[in-house]
Amino acid sequence: NGATADISITPRGSDWYFAVCAVMTVAAFSFIGLSLRRPRRDRLFHYITAAVVFVAAIAYFSMGSNLGFTPIAAEYSRSNPKVRGTFREIFYVRYIDWFITTPLLLTDLMLTAGMPWPTIFFVIMVDEIMIITGLVGALVQSVYKWGYFAFGCFALIYITYHLVWESRRNAARLGTDVNRAFLTCGSLTAFLWILYPIAWGLCEGGNVISPDSEAVFYGILDLLAKPVFGALLIWNHRNIDLARLGL
């Protein structure tokens, strides 16, 4: 179809994407399997978290198949000093994944902290701004991409403040179990999410590392932010009564 890029993944990058796809799929069925051992009313966190990894599995299937990308002219290229006319493979399918999954992950966390829905709604809106500015910045073919990146970073600062300050304080009032669940999953999230803009700067933004290295960087982040996060969340919820969270 003519959609080829000068700088793209190799078969090794593709294999890695399929391996991550397999882990996401196994995690999804495991979370559903775990949910079946509980009454329907108690399955909220299992369902939210399973949805996250199902979506990720399909995004990784696309990237492993070398689909869901578009070639974008690179500003800078280490491998090609004559940058003009060099096109990098940009996987927009990542942002479709994140647009669906990051609000679900925030819902997981903020419901665990017992936050009221108007607050959750607003933090999710800011999260959507972050993802869309990242997508537009990745698709823009000029230095303006860093303007979009800056908007996205402001959004992330606001989200992080909400998690490490507002939600953490609320969780602390709801008892030891809730506090421990929130601190475990919240600190993992705060730490990991800050690494995403760094990956973006090296990949979609600056074209500093290769698409195969991009696959490894984002892949490890996504494995920790989705299946590992999900397993920790579901485990930590084992003794928490949803009524205590107002659910």
Question: Site residues (CB under 6 A) for ligand RET?
Answer: 98, 101-102, 105, 130-131, 133-134, 149, 152-153, 156, 193, 196-197, 200, 222, 225-226
User: Closest approach of Cβ 116 to ligand RET, in Å?
Assistant: 23
User: Closest approach of Cβ 52 to ligand RET, in Å?
Assistant: 7
Nearer to ligand RET, 87 or 98 (CB): 98
User: Closest approach of Cβ 201 to ligand RET, in Å?
Assistant: 8
Nearer to ligand RET, 69 or 200 (CB): 200
Nearer to ligand RET, 111 or 174 (CB): 111
User: Closest approach of Cβ 243 to ligand RET, in Å?
Assistant: 29
User: Closest approach of Cβ 174 to ligand RET, in Å?
Assistant: 24
Q: What is the 3-state secondary structure of the chain?
A: CCCCCCECCCHHHHHHHHHHHHHHHHHHHHHHHHHCCCCHHHCHHHHHHHHHHHHHHHHHHHHHCCCCEEEEECCCCCCCCCCCCCEEEEECHHHHHHHHHHHHHHHHHHHHCCCCHHHHHHHHHHHHHHHHHHHHHHHCCCCCHHHHHHHHHHHHHHHHHHHHHHHHHHHHCCCHHHHHHHHHHHHHHHHHHHHHHHHHHHHHHCCCCCHHHHHHHHHHHHHHHHHHHHHHHHHHCCCCCHHHHCC
Nearer to ligand RET, 23 or 105 (CB): 105
Nearer to ligand RET, 159 or 240 (CB): 159
